A = this chain, B = another copy of it.
Amino acid sequence: MPREILVVGSTALDSIETAHGAVSDVLGGSAFYFAAAAARYAPVLVVGVVGEDFPMPRLEPLRRLGVSLEGLEVVPGGRTFRWGGRYHADLIGRDTLFTELGVFQGFRPRIPPAARRRPLLFLANIQPRLQLEVLEQMAAPALVVTDTMNLWIDTAREELERVITRSHILIVNDEEARQLTGERALAAAARSLAARGPRTVVVKKGEHGALMLSGESLFALPALPLERVVDPTGAGDTFAGGFVGSLAAEAKLDDAALRRAVVRGSALASFSVEAFSLDRLLAVTPDELDARLARFTALTRFDLG
């Protein structure tokens, strides 16, 4: 019986341009990407905020996957957080075209009383001050998994460090790991971050895969070589969703379970980038997911004989 997950993060409408086309006002935000991936493995409740303009029927596919939206606040007369971005030809670099915070500006996460005892909490990359407010409302979750972004490393370092100290698992990308620690070597950066509290540190390396330090155990997983990336938006949140979802379904959170979680997170992220918004992620069938997981095995297996 998988444990229940609570995610607090952004819930947005994105406008995105890549070499493969452009879309506007599509479903976006860290909490939705996370939930779409995590719900493959465990029940997820989303805490976030949208404006009255938000097209609620668009969330039906998430509901059908088992995502609870009872923590999604709708601000009367408010306008939903909108982000616009244009990706460079390499589909890695990107320029932000606009950020309209709308109701996200005054967001104060309120955890529904029934959700305060959820055992798994994912703090997506919102303001560290808000991440701390969420932690205050929760009844000692068994597992706190935290994401962040370079903006908060620059502007809210002290609060961020407090969040990291109170997290069991920290998920960052390679540049954030270096920025937080001053270490160029990612294994050294992960060790430095683990020394601040988290027992497990996952460093996402985009097209180069992921590195996880858990206790003394180092795990490296290459990314699936993708020949067609349509929209990289949300890949990191999707990874986190598959990772936390997988852990929620494990009887025991040992090293083997953590490694499986990295593979499942990577597999779901590899789907996410194949189309704009959550389109591909929401359409993945169980058979497709199994086949994708098998590709990771085929990609990485060797036998020293």
Contacts and interface: CB of A to CB of B under 8 A. Distances in A.
Contact of A225 (B187, B226, B301): B187
Given A185-B226, A187-B227, A225-B186, A219 B299 contact: yes
Interface string A162-190: 00000000000000000000001111100
A185 B302 contact: no
B220 A303 contact: no
Given A225-B211, A260-B305, A300 B220 contact: yes
Nearest to A301: B259
A263 B218 contact: no
A142 B186 CA distance: 40
Nearest to A187: B225
Contact of A208 (B187, B205, B260): B205
A256 interface: yes
Nearest to A211: B225
Contacts of A297: 304
Nearest to A264: B304
B263 A304 contact: yes
A227 B188 contact: yes
Q: In the assembly, how many copies of this chain are there? A: 2
B208 A208 contact: yes
A130 B205 CA distance: 39
A201 B220 CA distance: 22
A302 B256 contact: yes
A209 interface: yes
Interface in A265-305: 293, 297-305
A222 B222 contact: yes
A95 interface: no
B221 A225 contact: no
Contacts of A225: 185-187, 211, 218, 220
B293 A304 contact: yes
A301 to B, nearest CB: 7
A304 B260 contact: yes
Contacts of A184: 90
Nearest to A250: B305
A262 interface: yes
A221 B222 contact: yes
Nearest to A183: B227
Interface-central residue, A205, A226, A303, A304, by most chain B CB under 10 Å: A304
Nearest to A203: B225
Nearest to A257: B305
Interface in A206-254: 208-209, 211, 217-223, 225-227
9 contacts: A208-B209, A218-B298, A219-B300, A220-B222, A220-B223, A256-B302, A256-B305, A260-B304, A300-B302
